[in-house]
């Protein structure tokens, strides 16, 4: 439970196996971009002592990161425009209901939903 939300985390068998072999806990950063469009994505990195994260278990933590575009302008190619953190009074209201994590082709992949 996060606030009044129940977060269901689904790990694939590959992700579960890979997670148990990690020395450093994995952080799943649930990024929600608000701006000229809305984007949801999951970024993965090692958990650090500076992270104020929700601990799912000893090997996995999550953090919700609401962000805004610095500038809303069309971009060329695959690059993303720079973002800045968005101040939020109660981040628990942005906790999704469902998080799916897999490990495919040597990379962590994830998605989340609010339904």
Q: What percent of the chain has pLDDT over 70?
A: 87
Per the listing, tokens 């082709």 go with: 105
pLDDT tens, 43-53?
999 999 999 89
When comparing pLDDT for 7 and 28, which is higher? Answer: 28
Q: What is the pLDDT of residue 24?
A: 95
For the stretch 57-75, pLDDT in tens is 999 999 999 998 877 665 5
Please say if the pLDDT value at position 18 is more than 60: yes
Name the CATH code of domain 8-69+90-113 (choices 2.30.29, 1.10.3470, 3.30.470, 2.60.300).
Answer: 2.60.300
- The pLDDT value recorded for residue 72 is 67
Is the Cβ–Cβ distance between 67 and 79 less than 8 Å?
no
Residues forming beta bridges with residue 29, ordered by sequence position: 43, 63
How far apart (Å, rounded) are the C-alpha atoms in residues 92 and 72? 26
In the prediction, which pLDDT does 2 show? 60
Reported as a single tens digit per residue, the pLDDT across 73-90 is 655 555 667 788 888 888
Residue spans per domain, the chain: 8-69+90-113
Residue 85, C-beta contacts closer than 8 angstroms, at least 6 positions apart: 65, 66, 67
- The residues with which 63 forms a beta bridge, in sequence order, are 29
> Under 8 Å CB-to-CB from 74, ≥6 apart: which residues?
none
H helix or E strand, kind and range, residue 15:
helix 13-20
* Sheet containing 8-11, strands listed edge to edge, beginning at the edge strand earlier in sequence: 8-11, 98-104, 107-113
């Amino acid at each position: 439970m996060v606030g009044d939300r129940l977060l269901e985390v689904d790990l694939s068998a590959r992700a579960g196996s890979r997670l148990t072999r990690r020395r450093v806990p994995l952080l799943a950063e649930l990024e929600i971009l608000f701006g000229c469009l809305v984007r949801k994505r999951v970024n993965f990195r090692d958990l650090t002592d500076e992270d104020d994260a929700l601990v799912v278990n000893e090997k996995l933590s999550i953090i919700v990161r609401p962000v805004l575009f610095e500038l809303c302008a069309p971009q060329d190619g695959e690059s993303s425009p720079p973002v800045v953190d968005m101040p939020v009074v109660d981040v628990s209201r942005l906790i999704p209901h469902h998080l799916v994590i897999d490990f495919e082709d040597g990379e962590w992949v994830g998605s989340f939903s609010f339904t």
